[in-house]
Amino acid sequence: MIVGGSGLLGGHLVHKVFGDYHVVATYLGHPIEIPGCNSMKMDITDSQETEKIILKEQPAVIILSAAQRNVDYCEKNKEEVWKINVEGVRNVALASKKSHSRLIYLSTDLVFDGVKGHYVEDDETNPMNHYGVTKLAGEREVTRLLEDHAIARVSVLYDINPFGHTTNFVAWIIENLRHGKPLSLFTDQYRNATYIKNACDALLAINRRDERGIFHVAGKTCENRYDIGMKIAEIFGFDPGLISKTTSDDGEWIAKRPGKCCLSVNKMETRLGVSAMSIEEGLEAMKREMEDQKM
């Protein structure tokens, strides 16, 4: 069962495993239309509905990717987001326990404050915005309630959009540069941009190897947003002159962002046997995919 199957990561997971597994994909606002795929609406904030569906389906494994991820929205709507990102996770975990399902929970690099950088899985957490607070609380709910679980912390996921209603940082840059629109990108926010198909491989390896605990599932290289933008321009053949430098001090943010939230992917590579892709490798793969689909 992929909870949040209509999202960016969930959608790619559905496409990747459909045909190899019996897949149940849940959604809330955007129905999933894949011929032959068993999809259903499920609101994880409704404990009774969540329990009823999970007990009926009896999934061997649940991958929980549903969440409110808009960092500024989370800061403005703390109670609503707590119900989704914490109470919703608790509801899924409790139902997983009753159905004896294994749970893989998707968390974030934003559980860290970005001061140290190069974080390993057991480094001390210290989120600096409400989104990070809720995702860390979700981690703790899963750990408290379930023995058979794994937590995957991801960072700046990118790829083509499987259902069209979602976007991501890299796709947004490509779309703007394609239309000749100038962009100002931050030089002081460092993250591990992660090609989604690489992340999917790691998640499926966690399941296949029956791994437990926390894994950093992210791209190999940690770079600032300006440098990522310049690499997109180079690989896709756009005008790099459209991209200018700025810093987060010039941004109109509601929520604070960490400066250097770099993740170590050593455990992903050594324990899971999945090589983390560099930003160049991921962008090249995405470019080939877009050319194949004539996007």
Q: What is the pLDDT of residues 167-215, one digit of tens each?
A: 899 999 999 999 999 999 999 999 999 999 999 999 999 999 999 999 9
Structure tokens at 150: 């794994």
Going by pLDDT thresholds of 50, 70 and 90, the confidence category of residue 93 is very high
Q: What is the percent of the chain with per-residue pLDDT over 90, rounded to a whole number? A: 87
Inter-CA distances, 261 with 2, 114, 156, 199, Å = 27, 4, 11, 18
Whether the pLDDT of residue 1 is over 90: the answer is yes
Going by pLDDT thresholds of 50, 70 and 90, the confidence category of residue 294 is confident
Distance CA(235)–CA(286), nearest Å, equals: 10
Going by pLDDT thresholds of 50, 70 and 90, the confidence category of residue 29 is confident
Mean pLDDT of the 43-54 span? 98
Residues 6+ apart with CB under 8 A from 48: none
Could you tell me the residue ranges of all domains in the chain?
Answer: 2-225+251-292
Distance CA(157)–CA(64), nearest Å, equals: 16
Distance CA(88)–CA(90), nearest Å, equals: 5
pTM beyond cutoff 0.75: yes
Concatenate the DSSP letters of all residues of 27-90 into one string: ESSS----TT-EEEE--TT-HHHHHHHHHHH--SEEEE------HHHHHH-HHHHHIIIIIHHH
Distance CA(103)–CA(106), nearest Å, equals: 10
| Start-to-end CA span in the chain (Å) | 30
Domain 2-225+251-292: which topology?
Answer: Rossmann fold (3.40.50)
Whether the pLDDT of residue 267 is over 80: the answer is yes
Q: Quick check: 278 and 219 in contact, CB under 8 A?
A: yes
Q: Quick check: 294 and 186 in contact, CB under 8 A?
A: no
- 95-132 pLDDT tens trace: 999 999 999 999 999 999 999 999 999 999 999 999 99
**214 CB burial (10 A radius; 0-12, 13-18, 19+):** buried
